[in-house]
Amino acid sequence: MRSALNKVQYIVISLGILYSIVISPRILADTPTSLIPNKPAKTAIEKQENKITTDIGLQEQPNTKETTTLRERMGIEVSSLRDIDVESIGTIDLSTGGFKKDMWGGTSRETIENLFKFLPTQLHSRNLQSLYKRLLLTTAEIPSAEEDSEETGLLFKRAQALFRSGYLVEFEKLTEIIPHEYHGEQLAKLRTDAAFLQNEMDKACDITSRWFEKSSSQYWQKSLIFCDALDSNWDKVDFGLNLLLELDGGDEIFFNLIQKLSERVDGTFELTVDKLKPLYVAMLRASKHELPKLDSEIPSAWLLPNYIQDPGVEHSIRLSLAERAAKLGVIDIQTLSEVYRSAELNENEIENAISIALNEETPRARMLLYRATLRHESNFGKAQAIQRAQSIGQENKLFPEMAELYTPIFDQIQPGSELGWFAPDATLLHTANFDLEQARSWSSLAIREANMDQNVLATTYSYWPLIRIMWGDEVFKWNDDRMRNWWQIIKKTNLNKARESATLLYHLMHVLGDPISPSLQAALIGPNAGNRAKKTIFDNQFSIETAANAGNLAETITLILISLDKTDFTALPTSELILIVDSVNKLGLHEEARKLAFEIMVSQLF
C-alpha cells in the first residue's frame, strides 16, 4: 500500500515539474484573444461594513504589531505564536459586544464538539442572528482537545459555520486575525471559496498558487486551471486538464465551464442550483453566463448575494431573494434598499403604489410603496406611507425588516400634534429598532393624543404590552388597567387566539420580572391557564433547562440556536417560546431576553 502511494506521489511531482517546461497537445482548439474578465468590482457584501481588506493569510508570518495585538486581545503572555490557544481567537470580547471570556465554563470539550456538529444555517430572527454571530466571534476560553489539529479544531468549525450561514463579512474578519501558521488546508479552501463568491480573483488565485505546491487535491488543480484561463495561459490550461484526466478527475461540469470560458464550444449542458460550487459561480461570472434558473428552488444562504447580483435573474425574483436574504441576515437593510431602488418603474406604477400595496402581498408591492415613500416631501405624506408599510410588514411577517428599512425616513419626522394619529405606530417602530429616546418622545405624544382621539387611544392600548415588554419602566410604568384594556381590544378579534397571546404575554412578563398579579392573570387567561401552559417535550428542552440553570452561557445559547434552525417563532408552542426567553434571562442577558420577548410577541400578535 505504501509503495503504491509513493508511486502516485512520484507521478504527481514529476508531472508538476513537467508542467512548467512541457507544452502538451492541446485539447482545446484556437486560442481566444482574451478571457480576462474586468477587474473585480466591490460586491454588495463588501459594502456592508468598513472591513479590513488586508489578507493576513497571504503573509508568510504575522508582523510584530499584529502579534502584539493578538496577545493583548487574548489577555495572555506568550513566548511565541505557537503558545497561543488558537481556538480561543475571536474578533470581539465583553467590552466590544461579545460574551464573557469564560462563556464555555462548565461545558466539556466533548459536549462542545457535539454541539458544533449541529450548528444552524438559517435563523429567522435578527436577535437570534445577533446571538449566533456573538457566539462564533467572541474571544473565549475553550477546553483543550486531547490532540492538536492542523485545521485549528473548533476555530475552523466557527469559520465554516459563518460561511455556510452566508455571513461572509464576519467570516472574513475572523479568518483575517488567524495567524498564518494556523491556516490549514480546509480553512484555505473556505477562504478561496469566499474569494470566488465575492469576485476577488487575485486573492483566490494567490491562495491557490501557494496550496497547489503543497497539496495534490483536485480542488487546487481545478482552481489553478481556472486562474490560468483568466490569464489566457492556454498552454497551461491544456496541460492542467490533461493532468486531471490522468488522475481520473472526471468533473464534467468543470470541463464544460472551461470550454464555455474559452468561447470555442457552443454546446449547452445542464447545471442545477444544487450542484453549484463557489468555483462554478466564479467560472460562470467570468464567462458572462447566468446562474442556473431557480424555478421553485431556494439557494443556500451563501449563494443568495450572487443570485441577487446576477443580471439574468428576473427583478421580481431578485426582490424576493433580497427580502429573504435580509430576513436571514445575509445582506444588510441598506443592500435591500439598493435592490428596491434599482427597479425600473414607470410613473403610473409609482402613482398607484398605495392601491397596489393594498391589493398585493408581494415583494413588488412592498418595493413600490418604499419608492413612493421616498418621493413624499411632506412629513404627513411620509407618515401615511410608513404606517401602511408597517401594516404590510406585520401581515407578511416582515415587521422588523420593514421597521429598519424605513428608519432613515421616519428619523427625519419629529413628533408634533399634527401627527398625533401616527404617534402609537411611531413608538412601536422605534421600539422595534431599539431606539429608546425616540420611543419616549412619540409615546408621550401618543398618550396626550389618546385623551382626545379614540382611535389613537385604542391603538395605544393595543401596542402597550409590546412597548412595556421591551422597555420595562423606561417608557411606561406598570399599569394593570392598561393590561385589561389591551385584553378587551384583542379578544374582540379572535377569542381563542387572544387567549393564546395573553397566556404567552403573561408568562413572558413573569420571567422578565414584571409585577403582573395573580388576579390580573385570572382576568386575562382564566383559571385553567396552567393546563394550557403545560410544557411540551421537545428534543433539547431538558438540555436547555439544565444548561441555563447551571449558568452555562454558550452551551445554552448554542442549544437554543440549534433548536431554532429554519424555524419561525410562529411554529413553536407557547411553552417553548417561554423557555427560550426564560433561559436567556437566567443567563443574565436581560436586554437580549427583552428583545427576544418583544420579537416573539410581535410574531404572535401580527
β-pair partners for 92 = 138
Give the DSSP H or E segment for 105. Answer: none
CA distance 426 to 442: 6
Sign of CA dihedral 239, 242, 247, 251: positive
Grid look-up 439557494 returns: 299
Quote the CA–CA distance of 566 and 576 in Å, as a whole number: 16
For residues 190 and 55, state if they share a domain.
yes
**What separation in angstroms does the CA of 165 have from each of 161, 301, 333, 369?**
6, 6, 17, 30
- Round to whole Å and give the CA distance between 569 and 126: 12
Q: Taken in order 210, 215, 216, 221, is the CA torsion positive or negative?
A: negative
- Same domain for 307 and 183: yes
The whole-number pLDDT of residue 488 equals 86
Show which of 263, 278, 313 is a domain's final residue. Answer: 313
Q: Give the 3-state DSSP-derived string for 280-295, with helices as H, strands as E and coil as C.
A: HHHHHHHCCCCCCCCC
| Alpha carbon 277 to its chain's center | 19
CB contact at 8 A, 243 and 221: yes
pLDDT under 70: residue ranges of the chain: 1-84, 147-152, 249, 264-269, 522-538
Residue 526 confidence (pLDDT): 55
Q: Give a yes or no: residue 483 inside a domain.
A: yes
Minimal CA–CA distance to 131: which of 77, 92, 181, 102? 92
Residue 44 forms part of a structural domain: yes
Query: Does one domain contain both 418 and 508?
Result: no
Q: Are 428 and 295 in a shared domain? A: no
| Structure confidence at residue 401 (pLDDT) | 93
* pLDDT tens by residue, 189-244: 999 999 999 999 999 999 999 999 899 899 999 999 999 999 999 999 989 888 88
Tell me the per-residue pLDDT of 140-151, one tens digit each, with 9 for 90 and over: 998 887 765 545
Q: Is residue 230 part of a domain?
A: yes
Residues 6+ apart with CB under 8 A from 310: 290, 291
d(CA 72, CA 397): 43
SS3 state at 198: coil
Domain that residue 593 falls in: 479-536+573-606
Q: Which residues contact 39 (CB under 8 A, 6 or more apart)?
A: none
CA distances from 140 to 143, 149, 178, 325, 549 (A): 10, 18, 14, 29, 21
Single out the residue of 515, 442, 286, 489 nearest to residue 502, CA to CA. Answer: 489
Residue whose entry in the numeric block shows the C-alpha cell 490549514 = 184
Cell numbers at 238, concatenated: 491544456
d(CA 373, CA 381): 8
Position 521 in a domain: yes
Q: How many alpha carbons lie under 13 Å from residue 217 in its C-beta half-sphere?
A: 14
DSSP state of 164: H
**Same domain membership, residue 441 and residue 295:** no
Residues 307 and 198 in one domain: yes
Give the domain-ending residue among 284, 313, 342.
313
Query: Which secondary structure element, helix H or strand E, spans residue 187, and what is its range?
Result: helix 185-197
Closest CA to 383 of 320, 425, 341: 425
pLDDT digits (tens, 9 = 90+) for 154-203: 999 999 999 999 999 999 999 999 988 888 899 999 999 999 999 999 99
Q: Which residues pair with 138 in a beta bridge?
A: 92
- For residues 75 and 70, what is the distance between their CA atoms, to the nearest angstrom? 9
Answer yes or no: is 289 within a domain.
yes
DSSP letters, 315-351, are HHHHHHHHHHHHHHTSS-HHHHHHHHHHS---HHHHH
The answer to whether position 104 is within a domain reads no
pTM of the model: 0.80
Query: Does 233 share its domain with 207?
Result: yes
Angle between helices 423-432 and 379-395 (to 10 degrees): 60
Over residues 73-131, the pLDDT tens digits come to: 333 333 333 345 788 999 999 999 999 999 999 999 989 999 999 999 999 999 999 99
Burial label, 14 (beta-carbon count in 10 A; 0-12, 13-18, 19+): exposed
Residue 502 confidence (pLDDT):
86
Same domain, 597 and 483: yes
**Domain shared by 487 and 603, yes or no:** yes
Same domain, 472 and 483: no
Same domain, 277 and 307: yes
What is the tally of structural domains in the chain?
3
Sign of the dihedral through C-alpha 237, 242, 248, 250? positive
Q: With H, G, I as helix, E, B as strand and everything else as coil, classify residue 138.
A: strand
| 275 within 8 A of 256, measured Cβ to Cβ | no
Query: Given the C-alpha cell 393624543, which residue does it identify?
Result: 449
Whether residue 442 is contained in a domain is answered as: yes
568 falls within a domain:
no
Task: Looking at the structure, tell me whether residues 426 and 505 fall in a common domain.
Answer: no
Domain final residue pick, 291, 313, 335: 313
